[in-house]
Amino acid sequence: MLIRGLTFAALASAFIAGPVAAAQTLLNVSYDPTREFYSEFNAAFNKHWQAEGHPAIKVQQSHGGSGKQARAVIDGLPADVVTLALAGDIDELHRIGKLIPENWQERLPQSSTPYTSTIVFLVRKGNPKAIKDWDDLIKPGVSVITPNPKTSGGARWNFLAAWAYAKQKLGSDQQAQDFVKKLYSNVPVLDTGARGSTITFVNNQIGDVLLAWENEAFLALKEEGGDQFEIIAPSLSILAEPPVAVVDKNVERKGTREVAQAYLEYLYSDEGQRLAAKHFYRPRNPQIAAEFSKQFPALKLVTVDKDFGGWKVAQPKFFNDGGVFDQIYQVQ
Amino acid sequence: MLRRTSPVIPGFGMTLGFTLLYLSLLVLIPLAAMFVHAAQLSWADFWAIISAPRVRAALKLSFSTAFAAAMINAFIGALLAWVLVRYEFAGRKVIEAMIDLPFALPTAVAGIALTALYAPNGLIGKLASDIGLKIAYTPLGITLALAFVTLPFVVRTLQPVLADIPREIEEAAACLGAKPLQIVRHLILPAMLPAWLTGFSLAFARGVGEYGSVIFIAGNMPMKTEILPLLIMVKLDQYDYHGATAIGVLMLVVSFTLLLLINLLQRRIIKT
């Protein structure tokens, strides 16, 4: 009996010890358009990590809609780090999941956003409807494609960018609301996610203009070879800040805090910043940004924190049930 | 007088026990968890959620499109089953295999393909828009997607029943002077009806809950083409778990009531 027990224990420990000794793994739970960027970044980080004398690390990636990914982590997906589309989604890891402290955004430079993006217009080649700025989107006969802000993180940036433009030009909240109402009355389809809208615009050939993340627009352009679409930068847009965070509860349980922290910090290194720029994210480091200044047009950019009081204010005001977005669809 | 007959094959206790355990783990406990979650809402809150105009519009849309799709399949499906059972023709095996494809295909793929085809710029959508008919991004498009996804139910439930009706009965009826329509009305329809209703209710129930294929073709416009499962996703994206379960409970109760009614109807038909 004793011998059998001991054998079992030995076997069990061999099984448990096995994978840990072989290679440590790190799970990065991210959103849709970062797939290509992180597969290249993971390889670069692994090299850097081993050069510092650590054992090799295997980084697994998971991609999906930002909100869905946050819910998966809250429900128990053992993410070591999250790299999502908006701070509001990571806030929920604190509020509902109790997985991270409230001040998570102060733990890394630049409010924990190592790279940024913005919202631009993707139009058909030659720009047949002569779309130059947000004003052109509310003209009758212009068809605008954007996902539903209630289900898509990206679409919330689109909405806020349009709002910021209208507010600055027209002045009052009511006028801004009328403006976005006109804009959304030009939207024939509200897809549930950014990828769905891209399919509607690119493959199904619906709409005159797609409101898109700058990095997604560049990606679509790269894939099409640049002879079907062109990018139009509006006069004013929003600084989209996709943040990153170590998931404290998970790294403590798995003993991966050191490598998880190093992984996120490496996003701020010169190499990490260059890779982000290569994949069409705007780098935070001004020197690296200057290297890529040709790629990214200079824009007047508002931010959620300064101009909207942060996601904690903007989310309920605009997008929760009964918010501004619901109001513009209410039947009079 | 109570008369106990012991069945030929023993094992009632064990099989029933296993059935109950299995059903509990897979169906009852998850559904009960949903009710528990929703029960944390007060009755007034629950009512406010399910009586909101958007939820009511989606409720109407979800159940009417699922009903329309099930009706379409009840007729087309019966026709398909009849053709497949009664006639031998080249390519029958291929069609037979095609019937099950909607089950095998990921529903999102079906949704994207149907949208590409029926969108205003698509191959068929263009022809339709020439005669002023909009298919994708309207309830019509939703019905179409649901009809596609639920196609196999009626066909597969009717096929064995139709195959079991002996030809001799029809021949005997014909010999006795029955006209073809009378044979259909008095012989074939009564035999088909219970299975037909089963197929219909399966298709209907599946259609009410379908999400993947519909969201691509629906257009998801508030008050117009939002289905109930989408509203559940919307609530979840606001981390409003209670609101999401409230709509889930609403769908469950309405579906259960409708299925129960169909079941009762079926019993009456079998009895008569």
The predicted pLDDT at position B2 comes to 53
Residue B51 identity (one-letter amino acid): S
Q: What is the pLDDT of residue A6?
A: 44
Give the C-alpha separation, A61 to A83, whole Å. Answer: 10
How many whole angstroms separate alpha carbon B177 and alpha carbon A132? 79
Q: Is the ipTM of this complex over 0.95?
A: no
**Residue of chain B whose alpha carbon sits nearest to that of A65:** B237
d(Cα A15, Cα A12) in Å, to the nearest integer? 5
> A-chain residues within 8 Å CB-CB of B222?
190, 326, 329
User: Closest Cα partner for A299 from A222, A245, A234, A240?
Assistant: A234
Domains along the sequence of chain A with CATH: 2-113+241-267 (3.40.190.10), 117-240+299-328 (3.40.190.10)
Nearest CA in chain B to A206: B121
Task: Tell me the pTM.
Answer: 0.82
CA pair distance A204, B124, nearest whole angstrom: 12
pLDDT at A1: 41
Would you say residue A2 has pLDDT above 80?
A: no
Report the pLDDT averaged over residues B239-249. 92
Locate the DSSP E strands across chain A. Answer: 24-30, 57-62, 81-83, 115-124, 144-145, 209-213, 229-232, 236-240, 244-246, 282-283, 300-302
CB contact under 8 A, A190 and B221: yes
Q: String of b and e for A295-323 (b: at least 16 CB within 10 Å)? A: ebeebebbbbbebbebbeebbeebbbbeb
Q: Which of B54, B119, B238 sits opposite A206 (nearest CB)?
A: B119
Q: State residue A15's pLDDT score.
A: 44
Burial class for B11, CB neighbours closer than 10 Å (0-12, 13-18, 19+): exposed
SS3 state of residue A58: strand
Quickly state the pLDDT bin for A258 (edges 50, 70, 90). very high
Name every chain B residue with its beta carbon within 8 A of the beta carbon of A315. Answer: 238
Closest-CA distance of chain A to residue B147, Å: 21
Distance of CA A268 to the CA centre of its chain: 17
Q: Is the dihedral of CA B31, B37, B40, B45 positive or negative?
A: negative
Nearest CA of chain A to the CA of B224: how many Å? 10
Cβ–Cβ of B137/A189 closer than 8 Å? yes
Residue B24 structure tokens = 């509990």
Residue B3, pLDDT score: 58
Which has the closest alpha carbon to A193: B108, B268, B187, B67? B108
B22 pLDDT tier (thresholds 50, 70, 90): very high
* A331 and chain B in contact, CB less than 8 A: yes
**Per-residue model confidence as pLDDT tens digits over B171-181:** 899 899 888 89
pLDDT of A20 reads: 43
Confidence of residue A330 (pLDDT cuts 50, 70, 90): confident
Smallest CA–CA distance from B49 into chain A, residue = A321
Alpha carbon distances (Å) from A239 to A10, A24, A86, B129: 55, 35, 11, 40
Q: Which residues pair with A232 in a beta bridge?
A: A121
CA separation for the pair A29, A260 (Å, rounded)? 12
Say what the pLDDT of residue A10 is: 45
Separation between Cα atoms, residue B172 and residue B155, nearest integer Å: 27
Q: Strand pairing partners for A302?
A: A238
- Least Cα separation, residue B221 to chain A (angstroms): 6
Instruction: State residue A21's pLDDT score.
Output: 42
How confident is the model over A80-111, as pLDDT tens digits? Answer: 999 998 898 999 999 999 999 999 999 999 99
Segment B140-172, tens digit of pLDDT: 999 999 999 999 999 999 999 999 998 888 889
- Closest-CA residue of B relative to A187 is B221
pLDDT of A331: 63
Residue (of A112, A67, A58, A147) closest to A325 by Cα position: A147
How far, in Å, CA of A291 to CA of B87, rounded? 72
Q: What is the pLDDT of residue A13?
A: 44
- Using an 8 Å CB-CB cutoff, list chain B residues near A151: 230, 233-234, 237
A171: left (phi over 0), alpha (psi -120 to 50) or beta: left
Domains in chain B with CATH codes: 56-219+261-271 (1.10.3720.10)
Q: Which is higher by pLDDT, A21 or A268?
A: A268
Spell out which residues of chain B touch residue A199, defining contact as CB-CB under 8 Å: 112, 216
Best A31, A71, A143, A206 member to test B by mutation, with max B CBs in 10 Å, is A206
Q: How far is B165 from chain A (nearest CA, A)?
A: 47
Please tell me the distance in Å from B16's CA to the nearest CA on chain A.
Answer: 33
Chain A residues closer than 8 Å to B239 by CB? 71, 92, 95-96
Query: Is the pLDDT assigned to residue A18 strictly greater than 50?
Result: no
Q: Model confidence over A164-203: pLDDT tens digits?
A: 999 999 989 999 999 999 999 999 999 988 888 888 998 8
Q: What is the pLDDT of residue B266?
A: 86
- Exposure letters B128-164 (e unless 16+ CB within 10 A, then b): bbeeeebbbbbbbbbbbbbbbbbbbbbbbbbbebbee
**pLDDT of A16 over the 60 cut:** no
Least confident of A45-49, A258-262, B121-125: B121-125
% of chain A surpassing 90 pLDDT: 72
Sign for the CA dihedral angle at B204, B206, B207, B209 comes to positive
pLDDT tens digits, one per residue of B35-64? 888 888 999 999 999 999 999 999 999 999
> CB B220 to CB A192 under 8 A?
yes
| B220/A191 Cβ within 8 A | yes
Position B149 scores a pLDDT of: 94
> Which of A91, A150, A208, A332 has the highest number of chain B CBs within 10 A, making it the mutation to test binding with B?
A150
A322 has pLDDT over 90? no
DSSP state letters, chain B: -------SS--HHHHHHHHHHHHIIIIIHHHHHHHHHHHTS-HHHHHHHHTSHHHHHHHHHHHHHHHHHHHHHHHHHHHHHHHHHH---TTHHHHHHHTTHHHHS-HHHHHHHHHHHHSTTSHHHHHHHHTT---TTSHHHHHHHHHHHTHHHHHHHHHHHHHHS-HHHHHHHHHTT--HHHHIIIIIHHHHHHHHHHHHHHHHHHHHH--TTHHHHH---TTTS--HHHHHHHHHHTT-HHHHHHHHHHHHHHHHHHHHHHHHHHHHHHH-
Phi, psi values for residue A97, rounded to 5° = -80, -20
Query: What is the sign of the dihedral through the CA atoms of B124, B129, B130 and B131?
Result: positive
Size of interface A-B (CB pairs under 8 A): 68
State how far the Cα of A172 lies from the Cα of A240, in Å rounded to an integer. 23
Q: Would you put residue A30 in left (φ > 0), alpha (ψ -120 to 50) or beta?
A: beta
Among candidates B261, B247, B263, which has minimal Cα distance to B62? Answer: B247
Question: Residue A154: which of A240, A77, A58 has the closest Cα?
Answer: A240
Nearest to A88 by CA among A111, A62, A122: A111
Find residue A282's DSSP bridge partners. Answer: A116
